[in-house]
Amino acid sequence: MFSLKVPPVFQNRSLISLLVARISTTIAFQMLTVAVGWQIYSITQMPIYLGLVGLVQFLPMFLLTLIVGYVADRYDRKLIICFSQIAESIGIFLLAYESYNGSITEEGILVTIFFISTANAFQGPSMQSLLPNVVSKEIFPEVAAVATSTAQFAIIVGPAIGGFLYALSPEFVYSIAGVLALATSVIILFVSIREGPQNSEPATINSIFGGIAYIRSKPAILGAISLDLFAVLFGGATALLPVYASNILKIGPLGLGLLRSAPAVGALVMSVFLAKRPLKRNEGFKMFIAIIFFGIFTLIFAASTSFLLSFSSLVLLGASDVVSVVVRLTLIQLETPDNMRGRVNAVNSMFIGTSNQLGEFESGLTASLFGVVPAVLIGGIGSIVIAVLWMKLFPELLHATKLGHSTD
C-alpha cells in the first residue's frame, strides 16, 4: 500500500506549531506594513513619513532591548508571546476602526504603530529563543533553513494579500491582520519545549547587560550581527517602495504588494535550497559574498524604471540576503547557552530592528534630501563598502566554517 513518507523534521508537532505561529504573526505584520505604508503616503504625499514609520517601529526595541531580553530569559516565553500578540491585535483593530470611521491621521498611525511595536519588542526575543528548545542541535542548521523558508513564504503571501485587501478597503486588511495576531496567541500555547528559561538571576545591572557582554566576548557573533545592522541599514530600499509603486513604476497598491513580496520570493527559493543542501564549510566567506551581491542588486533596483526589472532585482536581493540570515541564525542559536539566549536574541532583534526600521528612516530622510533614486543608490554602495570593511575588521567571521557540524 502506498504511503507518503514525512521527513523527520516535520514529525515534530511542537516544531510545526511554532512554525505555524511564526507564519501567522509574519503574515499579519507584512499586511500591516503594506497597509500603513500606502495609507500614510496617501495622506501626506511625503516620503519622510515613510521614514517616521520605520523610526517609531525601531524606538521600542532600542529603548527596551535589555529589559525584554531579561524578561525572555526569566519568564515563560510562550506566555510572553501570547500576551504580546493580544496587545498587537488591539492596536491593529484600532487602526481598522479609525479607517472605518474616517478619523485616521498620520499622527494617529504613528502613535498606534509605536504601541504595536512595543508589544512586538517583547514578542521577538521569546519567539526566536524557542526554536532551539524544540529540536536537537544536530539538525538545527537544517531546521534554521526550514524556519527561514517558512518565514519567507509568509513574507511573500503577506504583502500580496495586504495589497489586494487594501484595494478593497484599509479597514478590511487591518481586521484580518488583527485576527491573525490573535490566532498566533493561541497557536503558540500548543508548543511543547524540552526546557524553559534557566535564568533565576535577579534584575541586576550585570544580569540585564549579560547579553551585550556575551556578544562582545564572541567576535564572530558580534561581526555577524553588526554586519547585518550596517549592510541593511544602508541598503534597505523597502521603505521607499510606496514611492516607486506610486510615482516611478505607477503600479498601485496591488503592485506595491507584489514588490514587497519580491525579496521574499528569492529568499524562499534560496532557503529551500539551503534546507536541502546546508552550508557545511566557509559559511563566513559565503555570507560576505552574498552581502556584496545584495548591494549590487540594490543598485540595479534603484536605477530601474521597469516593473519586471525592479521585481527581478528585488527577488535576487532577497536570495542574497537570506544566506546572511541563515548563517547568523545558526551561529547565534548554537553558540549561545539557553539561559542567555533571550538576552542575546534581544540584542540581535535590536540590531535587526535598527537595520530594518532605522534603515527605513534613513532611506526616507535621504530621499527627502537627495531624491528617491539617489537615496537607494547611496544605500547599495554603502552595503558593498560595509561588507568589504567587515572582512578586515572581523577575520573570525570571515573564516567561520562548519557551523553546527563537527570540526576536523
Is 199 in a helix, a strand, or coil?
coil
The pLDDT, as a whole number, for residue 179 is 96
Contacts of 304 (CB under 8 A, 6+ apart): 310, 313
How does DSSP assign 232-278, residue by residue? HHHH--GGGHHHIIIIIS--HHHHHHHHHHHHHHHHHHHHHHHHHS-
The pLDDT, as a whole number, for residue 89 is 96
The pLDDT, as a whole number, for residue 408 is 38
Residue among 286, 294, 298 nearest 321 (CA): 294
Which residue's entry shows cell 484599509? 170
Q: What is the dihedral of CA 171, 173, 174, 176, to 10 degrees?
A: 120
405 touches 283 (CB < 8 A): no
Q: Mean pLDDT by 10-residue block, N- to C-terminus, for the chain (408 residues)?
A: 49 85 92 90 84 83 80 85 95 94 91 94 84 74 77 79 87 94 92 62 59 76 78 69 85 82 83 77 84 91 90 91 79 71 72 63 75 86 90 84 53
Query: Residue 382: how many CB atoms within 10 A of its CB?
Result: 18
Contacts of 242 (CB under 8 A, 6+ apart): 37, 38, 41, 50, 256
Separation CA 119–CA 134 (nearest Å):
24
The pLDDT, as a whole number, for residue 322 is 82
Residue 61: what residue type? Answer: M
DSSP 189: G
Query: Residue 110: how many CB atoms within 10 A of its CB?
Result: 17
Separation CA 209–CA 253 (nearest Å):
43
User: Grid coordinates in use for 120?
Assistant: 512586538
Separation CA 330–CA 23 (nearest Å):
19
User: Grid coordinates in use for 33?
Assistant: 506594513
pTM of the model: 0.66
The length of the chain, given as a count of residues? 408
Q: What is the dihedral of CA 383, 387, 390, 394, to 10 degrees?
A: 140
Q: What separation in angstroms does the CA of 166 have from each of 31, 94, 107, 120?
A: 9, 16, 20, 23
CA angle (25 as vertex; 22, 31 as ends), nearest 5:
135
How does DSSP assign 204-233, residue by residue? -HHHHTHHHHHHHT-HHHHHHHHHHHHHHH
Separation CA 226–CA 235 (nearest Å):
14
User: Grid coordinates in use for 256?
Assistant: 506595491
Write phi, then psi, for 73 (nearest 5 degrees): -90, -15
Is 305 in a helix, a strand, or coil?
coil
Domains and CATH numbers, the chain: 9-398 (1.20.1250.20)
Roughly how many angstroms between the first and final C-alpha of the chain, as a whole number?
44
User: Grid coordinates in use for 329?
Assistant: 541564525
Residue 354: what residue type? Answer: T
140 touches 130 (CB < 8 A): no
Q: What separation in angstroms does the CA of 233 have from each of 54, 79, 222, 243?
A: 11, 32, 16, 19
Which residue's entry shows cell 526575543? 125
Separation CA 67–CA 122 (nearest Å):
9
The pLDDT, as a whole number, for residue 1 is 40
The pLDDT, as a whole number, for residue 2 is 39
Residue 45, Ramachandran bin (φ over 0: left; ψ between -120 and 50: alpha; else beta):
left
Separation CA 40–CA 24 (nearest Å):
24
The pLDDT, as a whole number, for residue 4 is 43
The pLDDT, as a whole number, for residue 140 is 73
Write phi, then psi, for 348 (nearest 5 degrees): -60, -45
